[in-house]
Amino acid sequence: MVDSAHFQPDDRPVDDQLADLRVRIDAVDQQLIALINQRARLAQAVGEVKKLDGSPVFRPDREAQVIDRVKAQNPGPVREDSLAPIWREIMSACRALEAQQRVAFLGPIGTFSEQATLNYFGSSIDALACPSVDEVFRATISGSADYGVVPVENSTEGVVARSLDLLLASPLTIVGETSLLVTHNLLRKEPSREGITVVCAHPQALAQCHNWLSQNLPDAERRPVSSNAEGARLAGQDPTIAALASERAASQYGLHVVQPAVQDEAHNRTRFVIVTRPGPHVGVAPTGHDCTSLIVAVDNRPGAVHDMLVPLKRHGVSMTRFESRPARSGSWDYVFFIDLAGHPAQDNVAAALQELRAQCSFFKVLGSFPLDVH
């Protein structure tokens, strides 16, 4: 192994010292390549064993545990939040040797959904850009994709209603989540704001930039489109159109970043969930920092919602999200989307879920999965 002791500058010429350091870095790189390939061969062996009982290639609980351990064992100076994406890419490359996963997301290329997909799965996947969230669900349900990545909540604008409605109606289960700091940039073919008559973006992005647009482009039409990347594509065809999108979209469609970070809230985050078809091996094991998502409904009677929450308090289960949506039954009925802290493998969570189920006229577990703590 190459000596990794701290290097101390000496009296030699700077070029000589740099040359020595670069030789040592090259030697470490060779060791890293050998170790990564050694890990890849072990991953291939794991894949052969999984074939014996049809276990899934991708295990979000296992990958979360690997990253937790890497961070816990990190001696520095590399920061823990820098290690997680490095290991995700290593695991992605190893996973692809078992079988390359096809992952559907809201396209086209350059959307925040694509960025969330790559952040979660790594780049060694077969990425499938879909024209709508509905199509992400269809592709995943049909088997055209192994997984789908869909936005469900924004810290500024709240829930993504269409995603919740589709989770209610579809057979898909949630196996993971990731959140993304969303920075909306004003993109255009020209390097200035002069002559902009239309701003195209997803309706959520337009809402998240409402104040900035009102102050800086008050006369421009705000035109909703299927995605921010679609807005960037349109801006690339017409110099009078501007888009609200990512820097990746700017590069993809040859646009200038006329104004960076125009969202009204500096800490604007979007939460995405990872969905897949249910099956005998889809269950995600507990990791110690888990979430269980439910959809429930209760009879329309006084105190019904209060009674529904009593089992959670009784068994010490925290509720981290509570949203109501129309049941889409044609009458004034509602369903409730609930996130609980914990996993059904925990006795208190299992007991709370059993009591809660008995009180509900509709009860559906969307999935239990590791929280996005990386």
Active site residues: 270, 272
* CB neighbourhood size of 47 (10 A): 16
**Is 69 within 8 Å of 19 (Cβ atoms)?**
no
How far is 268 from 154, CA to CA, in rounded Å?
7
Q: Locate tokens 């030789």: which residue? A: 23
Nearest to 231 by CA among 181, 266, 196, 195: 196
Please list the residues that pair with 135 across neighbouring strands: none
Q: Which residues contact 161 (CB under 8 A, 6 or more apart)?
A: 325
**Is 291 within 8 Å of 319 (Cβ atoms)?**
no
Nearest to 61 by CA among 172, 162, 177: 177
Residue 241, H or E segment: strand 241-245
First-last CA distance in the chain: 30
Alpha helices in the chain (DSSP H): 14-50, 60-72, 80-98, 112-121, 133-142, 161-169, 203-208, 210-216, 228-235, 247-253, 304-314, 347-359
Nearest to 109 by CA among 84, 130, 125: 130
Distances (CA, A) of 331 to 300, 327, 373: 12, 8, 39
Omega before residue 108 within 30° of 0, cis = yes
How far is 104 from 96, CA to CA, in rounded Å?
16
How far is 223 from 62, CA to CA, in rounded Å?
43
